[in-house]
Amino acid sequence: MDKIPPLENLIQKFTKLPGVGKKTAARYAYAILAMTDEDSNSFIDAIREVKEKVHFCKVCGNYTDDDVCEICSSRDNSIVCVVSEPKEVTAMEKIKDYNGVYHVLHGLLNPMAGVGPEDLNIKALLDRISGVKEIIVATASTIEGDATALYLSRLLKPLGVKVTRIARGLPAGSELEYADELTLSRALTDRKEI
């Protein structure tokens, strides 16, 4: 069968998504071809709308379609849970009894990759420290996650803020977004001061 450039282009675009290989990308492309014009236009509109309207919250750095996300505007601002990426806020929200707010760093310290403190959303965290009683560092149990937690602890403790780290109930090297609700809940409940 001859290659069809527009179809091959679409398949190639889908392979840029995380976890999507060539076979899955081809299935997605063929599914779009099978859609009605109304469904495919709706799909295109949904992508366009998310790119135009969703941005980072001015306070925490999580995704929102407003200036300040709903969590920041309605929760207890005295407890801040620091995560590395917005998708981890979604994971932590599985814990129904957490009523604090979040702060998204947009990465972790990684000197080998050239990522230093100035590359993370740390200044914004320092700007919102007034009135904060506790900072919960909920970064992954990796070298980068541990280094980031230690750096934040050394930076924040002299400011009189209690800094805790989620418990090690999460397997080493694991990502928060893949942890189940019970494991996350126990890790948050059993957090330790660092």
pLDDT tens-place string over residues 110-149? 999 999 999 999 999 999 999 999 999 999 888 999 999 9
Specify whether the CB–CB gap between 137 and 149 falls below 8 A: yes
Residue in 101, 189, 194, 111 with CA at minimum distance from that of residue 152: 194
Q: Are 134 and 109 in contact (CB under 8 A)?
A: no
The tokens of 46 are what? 């949904």
Does 1 have pLDDT greater than 90? no
Instruction: Using alpha carbons only, give the angle 153, 171, 193 rounded to the nearest 5 degrees.
Output: 25
User: For the segment 23-51, what is each residue's pLDDT rounded down to a tens digit?
Assistant: 999 999 999 999 999 999 999 999 999 99
Which stretch of 75-89, 90-104, 113-127 has the lowest confidence by average pLDDT?
90-104
Q: What pLDDT score was predicted for residue 79? A: 97
How far is residue 186 CA from its own chain's centroid?
A: 20
Query: Can you give the pTM of this predicted structure?
Result: 0.79
